[in-house]
Amino acid sequence: MNNSEQTNTDYSKIVRDGLWNNNPALAQVLGLCPLLAVTGTIINALALGVATMLVLIASNLAVSLLRQYIPNEIRIPIFVLIIAGFVTIVEHLMHAYLYNLYTVLGIFVPLIVTNCAIIGRAEGFASKNDALPSIIDGISMGLGFTGVLVALGVMREVLAQGTLFADASIMLGDWATTITLFENYDGFLLAALPPGAFIGLGLLLALKNIIDQKMRTRTANSISVNAIAETPETL
């Protein structure tokens, strides 16, 4: 589109939004079904996070490139179609080249279609922006989502099994080894079960709110001290 608009795009804001301020899982609170279901181990979490990110980047790019040709009335069905197409492609590729991972993640790969975070970015960002910002947005949001998945995976795997990277070989090949943190650990079953996922997510949300609050107070203080008319980041 027009050049002055492109140069004005604030990339660092896009990145900050995706990773933290408007994080799909912690701020938009979208895509919780896979978030809660597959975070039993780090590797599952990482695999689904990466698959989701690939779909997100591809769909953001496609939507931003095609946005002039998509009539407003039918944009949602077309977004769904584009996302479903990319999910199917990612599913085929995983089935072909990462078979063990594909069997472990099972239904949650096709279910990426229903991850509202993806259509949310298509509608909320990619349909209004150029290709490059849309890719950056896809990467940032994808990383933000993957980060939360992995954080939850770490919490649950360490508590439930006392290990890190269990079954890493199914994603990363034979060189990857499992790190056992506690020998003869009896396991904390709650962390592996669905309630553990909910509680873990609740803790992460609380942690984000605490940090945001701390940062807000600090910004507010520095403003009053320096009397600089800076607007603090708000959610």
Binding site for another protein (CB under 8 A): 40, 69-71, 73-74, 77-78, 81-82, 84-85, 88-89, 92-93, 95-97, 99-100, 103, 160-161, 167, 187, 189, 192-193
Burial of 165 (0-12, 13-18, 19+ CB in 10 A): buried
Q: Which is nearer to another protein, 14 or 36 (CB)?
A: 36
Task: Provide the residue type at 208 as one letter.
Answer: K
Q: How many CA atoms lie within 13 A of 37 on its CB side?
A: 15
Q: Which is nearer to another protein, 30 or 119 (CB)?
A: 119
The secondary structure of 153-189 as a DSSP string is: HHHHHHHHHSEESTTTHHHH-TT---EESSTT----H
Q: Which is nearer to another protein, 14 or 58 (CB)?
A: 58
CB of 175 vs another protein, minimal distance in Å: 18
Task: Provide the residue type at 167 as one letter.
Answer: D
CB of 96 vs another protein, minimal distance in Å: 4
Rg (CA), the chain: 20
CB of 70 vs another protein, minimal distance in Å: 7
Q: Which is nearer to another protein, 124 or 187 (CB)?
A: 187
- Report how far residue 75's alpha carbon sits from residue 186's, in angstroms, rounded to the nearest whole number: 52
Q: Which is nearer to another protein, 30 or 61 (CB)?
A: 61
Tokens of 206: 């609380």
CB of 86 vs another protein, minimal distance in Å: 9
Q: Which is nearer to another protein, 96 or 225 (CB)?
A: 96
CB of 18 vs another protein, minimal distance in Å: 26
- Report how far residue 150's alpha carbon sits from residue 144's, in angstroms, rounded to the nearest whole number: 10
Collect all residues with Cβ–Cβ distance below 8 Å to 94 and sequence separation of at least 6. 51, 101, 102, 105, 109
CB of 233 vs another protein, minimal distance in Å: 38
Measured CA to CA in angstroms, residue 212 lies from 22, 27, 64, 205, 225 at distances of 12, 11, 31, 11, 20
